[in-house]
């Protein structure tokens, strides 16, 4: 019975993935962090088939930004052609100087680094202004989202995946026992949790390599230069479990992405006033110069900013 089920899974996998290398597919299907459902969701980019999706363009200062709205709850947008191709190319050239290390996790029992089953990728961290090109990209991002303070983002995390690479679905928010315990750690106290993820696609795989959001049955198959952006927390600092996402398996080629995790402290411009539970997502959907001039009323009944 179990054998038949496995065969069925593999067959449906084969049907969905065309000429995908069978050994790679077996490896992913046998990985306890992946499932047939996840892999199948990876396979279909929902463009055109997603009734909730729409697109718009906004202009901020002198810049034009193309936005594909994939979901409002949870908040998920794709910024099309966001990073100029020549920036992405210089970035790829520059990071050749960096040693990308295989990503591991800390073994709970031994406290030593152990290879991760849930993730197969090489990566490193880069400070925002480490290279002229990372600096240029950082400023490019900041100019287009003036409501967000990207200085309050962690370093760029650069991840590169060859064929067989993947990062099984996970959440980006930091897990901790309680806010009080977390606040004992200065790194946490300073920044707070990971409010948003900005994932910049610098290089796309030849086959596979999208980003899957299983809770909303969506995957994004980006083009080079696109950015995928989502919220990890709700407006009350609660963890948004629907932000679960994974880096789909790479079947052929190499994918390289750079991520910025924007931390919650210092980003109060996005917070709602009074009793609204939603972030001020207008500021993310249609950033405008006018919003920046608006002085927000900080004296709402229940306080805008709960300490």
Which spans of this chain sit near ligand NAG (rule: CB under 6 A)? Answer: 102, 120-122, 160-162, 164-165
Nearest approach, Cβ of 118 to ligand NAG (angstroms)? 13
Nearest approach, Cβ of 247 to ligand NAG (angstroms)? 10
Nearest approach, Cβ of 251 to ligand NAG (angstroms)? 12
Nearest approach, Cβ of 99 to ligand NAG (angstroms)? 9
Please give the angle made by the CA atoms of 37, 41 and 45, to the nearest 5 degrees. 170
The smaller minimum CB distance to ligand NAG, of residues 133 and 247, is found at 247
The smaller minimum CB distance to ligand NAG, of residues 147 and 162, is found at 162
Query: Dmax of the chain from CA atoms?
Result: 65
The smaller minimum CB distance to ligand NAG, of residues 27 and 280, is found at 27
207 three-state secondary structure: strand
The smaller minimum CB distance to ligand NAG, of residues 128 and 166, is found at 166
| DSSP class of 295 | P
Report the distance separating Cα 231 and Cα 55, nearest Å: 18
The smaller minimum CB distance to ligand NAG, of residues 115 and 238, is found at 115
Nearest approach, Cβ of 110 to ligand NAG (angstroms)? 23
The smaller minimum CB distance to ligand NAG, of residues 42 and 76, is found at 42
Distances (CA, A) of 305 to 24, 101, 274, 289, 299: 49, 40, 9, 23, 9
3-state class percentages of the chain: helix first, strand second, coil last, to nearest 5:
30, 30, 40
Report the distance separating Cα 279 and Cα 34, nearest Å: 32
Burial per residue of 131-157, b for 16 or more beta-carbon CB atoms within 10 angstroms, e otherwise: bebbebbbeebeebbbbbbbebbbbbb
Nearest approach, Cβ of 119 to ligand NAG (angstroms)? 9
């Amino acid at each position: 019975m179990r054998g038949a089920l496995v065969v069925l899974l593999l067959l449906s996998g084969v049907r969905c993935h065309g000429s995908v290398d069978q050994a790679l597919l077996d490896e992913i299907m046998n990985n306890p962090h992946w499932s047939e459902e996840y892999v199948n969701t990876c396979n279909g980019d929902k463009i055109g088939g997603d009734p909730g999706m729409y697109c718009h363009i906004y202009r901020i200062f002198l810049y034009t930004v193309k936005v594909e709205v994939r979901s409002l709850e949870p908040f998920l947008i794709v910024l099309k052609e966001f990073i100029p191709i020549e920036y992405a190319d210089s970035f790829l050239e520059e990071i050749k100087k960096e040693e990308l290390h295989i990503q591991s996790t800390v073994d709970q029992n031994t406290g030593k680094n152990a290879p991760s089953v849930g993730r197969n990728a090489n990566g490193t961290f880069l400070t925002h202004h480490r290279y002229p090109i990372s600096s240029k990209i950082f400023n490019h991002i900041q100019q287009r989202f003036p409501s967000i303070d990207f200085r309050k983002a962690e370093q760029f995390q650069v991840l590169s995946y060859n064929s067989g690479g993947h990062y099984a679905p996970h959440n980006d928010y930091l897990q901790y026992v309680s806010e009080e315990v977390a606040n004992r750690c200065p790194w946490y106290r300073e920044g707070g949790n990971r409010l948003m993820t900005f994932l910049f696609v610098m290089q796309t795989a030849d086959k596979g390599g999208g980003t899957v959001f299983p809770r909303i049955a969506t995957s994004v198959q980006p083009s080079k230069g696109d950015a995928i952006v989502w919220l990890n927390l709700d407006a009350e600092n609660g963890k948004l479990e629907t932000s679960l996402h994974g880096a789909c398996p790479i079947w052929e080629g190499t994918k390289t992405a750079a991520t910025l995790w924007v931390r919650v402290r210092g980003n109060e411009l996005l917070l709602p006033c009074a009793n609204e539970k939603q972030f001020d997502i207008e500021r993310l959907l249609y950033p405008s110069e006018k919003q920046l001039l608006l002085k927000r009323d900080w004296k709402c009944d229940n306080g805008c900013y709960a300490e």
